[in-house]
Structure 1
């Protein structure tokens, strides 16, 4: 028979799990993630002292393009106005004739009939001026002096 000498407590066959490191609790900062000590912390948009400042972001210059676009649009609108205006119409004729107003005639109809190439609004204004008309109401049989482009086209009274 053999005698075993006690040498201390017997070890278990499987190693015991390692004890976890104690967690450091920060008071007053609950829920905030801990950052590694090597990372700079930016607080409220300020950089810590000694940190390299980033170059300010350069915004591309757009105002010259906007000025050029505005100028080009003004030129286009002006060009369309000149082309769309119908060009220069013939001036109001200098020669006049006396005509009798018929039933249903208006000043603009008379202007279109006797000065077809001229601006109708300008001819109407000239008829009102020549006859000292305050109102555009015409009475049949009224004699009016109207500018005429072709005196031969006026019917004989």
Structure 2
């Protein structure tokens, strides 16, 4: 409503306060130019995904390096295996002797006693083969045929 006076429109004596708008705090976007919400944000010189002139970046070829690294690792593992396995123990002795199993003896202890320079697992397999043993239960006093590295060791009690 306006009041008409002789000289034109009359103004109110006190200014009318403007309606309060909610204040929105922008955190983490300092220095960013205000943009409409429909426009994509450009970050560090990258173009938005939907831009018509956004060409895909060339991806560096990495697979040759990965293949070379895999082959190098395989060679290192193979070399370490050959290096550690290079000290092969003596083969299983061909000579055999018949011994009596004592109290608390196992196939491994017999293999270590009668063929000390050979691989214990191979000697145990040979003892099982010579005596046709399926299970590893040994009864004291049982005669067993075992490979012997030195004939003097078999003669000793």
TM-score range, shorter chain: 0.5 to 0.7
82-91 vs 124-133, which moves further: 82-91
Which ranges of structure 1 fall in alignment gaps of 5 or more residues? Answer: 1-30, 36-41, 48-52
Aligned to 2:93: 93
Q: How big is the shift at 1:134? A: 1.6
Correspondences of 1:131-150 after superposition (within 5 Å): 131-150=131-150
Listed as ranges, the gaps of 5+ residues in structure 2 are 1-34, 40-46
State the 1:156 CA deviation: 5.3
Name the count of aligned residue pairs. Answer: 115
2:40 equivalent to 1:32: no
Q: Secondary structure at the match of 1:137?
A: coil
Equivalence for 1:16: none
Going from structure 1 to structure 2, the CA distance change for 1:114 and 1:44 (only over 3 Å counts) comes to closer
Structure 1 length-normalised TM? 0.64
Q: Deviations over 1:13-69 (max 9, x none)?
A: xxxxxxxxxxxxxxxxxx838x9xxxxxx997142xxxxx56642221111110010
Match of 2:50 in 1: 45
Higher Rg: 1
Q: Does 1:69 align with 2:69?
A: yes
| 2:115 is the alignment partner of 1:115 | yes
Q: CA deviation at 1:147?
A: 0.2
| Alpha-carbon distance, 1:83 to partner | 2.1
CA deviation vs aligned residue, 1:68-102 (integer Å, no higher than 9, x gap)? 10001001111112222353221111110111111
Q: Which residue of 1 aligns with 2:126?
A: 126
Query: Partners in 1 of 2:134 and 2:91 — Cα distance?
Result: 23
Q: Distance in 1 between matches of 2:150 and 2:105?
A: 20
What is the rounded CA distance, in whole Å, between the counterparts of 2:140 and 2:82 in structure 1?
40
Distance 2:48 2:66 in 1: 38
